[in-house]
Amino acid sequence: MNANLKSILLSLAKYFVAALQGQKAEINQQQNMQQNTNPTTWRYGDHTYTMKGDLTCDSYNREATGTVTFTHIPANYQEFEALYNEFLGKTPHGTTAMMTMAMEMYGRDREEGLRCIQLINWPSNVNSVVSILKDKYGTSQYAPTNDSYSQRYLPAAVLKGARPENAYTPDRPYTIEMKASVNQHQQMQFMGSGCVMYIYVMGGGWDTHQRSVEIIKQPGNQLHQVFNCPSLYTQCKTIHGQWPGLQ
């Protein structure tokens, strides 16, 4: 066999191997996307949590979305921890939705809520969240009518159906809708390693109707953490009427 023919056959073999590997990778990606998009449900007592979507730290997809639906805010830290470790913490959109739950739990009980915030947040983000919430929640359970600063209702501002005009009363069951940001994933270059991805959380509490949240996932860890989320506790529109609270 002359050298030219051998070279051609070797090139063809490499081409077919690469094509086969690419086809397998595409099939695996489609299967993973289908699996991630299908709704999955987790229950704790009479509380039900449902998650679907294809947001992932593994690759950037501008069209990716995520939705988390739940009947109640977790009743205590034990439920919150189990929810995070066993279900919602395994996806970026599930973890993002839990930030709203943690903010609400902090409003109900400072000590227990702090533990929830610490559990799902990157350490450097905890103080930023708590310092603002402590100030904005004040000492009352619910904000006064037409109050523009003590916004105890902040956790409800990203729940589907909640608007200032209806006193931030969301649809039931509660739903948080998310989509991929225009910003692509970034690899951390400091404080360790990990992939940081950007997610838009949809909500009627602001003129933009979307809040940016940064989620980090470290190699070897199946759980995600909230890396940064100032948009979730930034001043939202002033409530009209009295907030009914969340269940």
pLDDT, tens digit, for every residue of 194-234?
899 999 999 999 998 999 999 999 988 999 999 999 999 99
- Sequence-ordered strand ranges (E) for 181-228: 186-187, 195-202, 210-217, 225-228
Sequence-separated contacts (24+) of 178-182 with Cβ below 8 Å: 178/53, 178/55, 178/65, 178/66, 178/67, 178/68, 178/93, 178/96, 178/97, 178/202, 179/55, 179/64, 179/65, 179/66, 179/210, 180/55, 180/60, 180/61, 180/62, 180/63, 180/64, 180/65, 181/212, 182/62
* Residue-averaged pLDDT of the chain: 86
pTM over 0.85: no
Q: Is the pLDDT confidence value at 108 over 70?
A: yes
Count how many domains the chain has. Answer: 1
pLDDT bin (cut points 50, 70, 90) of residue 25 is very low
Residue 150 within any structural domain of the chain: yes
Residue 45 within any structural domain of the chain: yes
Range of the domain at 60: 37-232
Q: Is the pLDDT confidence value at 4 over 70?
A: no
Residue 10 within any structural domain of the chain: no
Residue 244 within any structural domain of the chain: no
Residue 221 within any structural domain of the chain: yes
pLDDT cut 90: percent of the chain above it:
72
Q: Is the pLDDT confidence value at 116 over 90?
A: yes
Residue 94 within any structural domain of the chain: yes
Residue 106 within any structural domain of the chain: yes
pLDDT computed for residue 246 by the predictor? 96
Residue 172 within any structural domain of the chain: yes
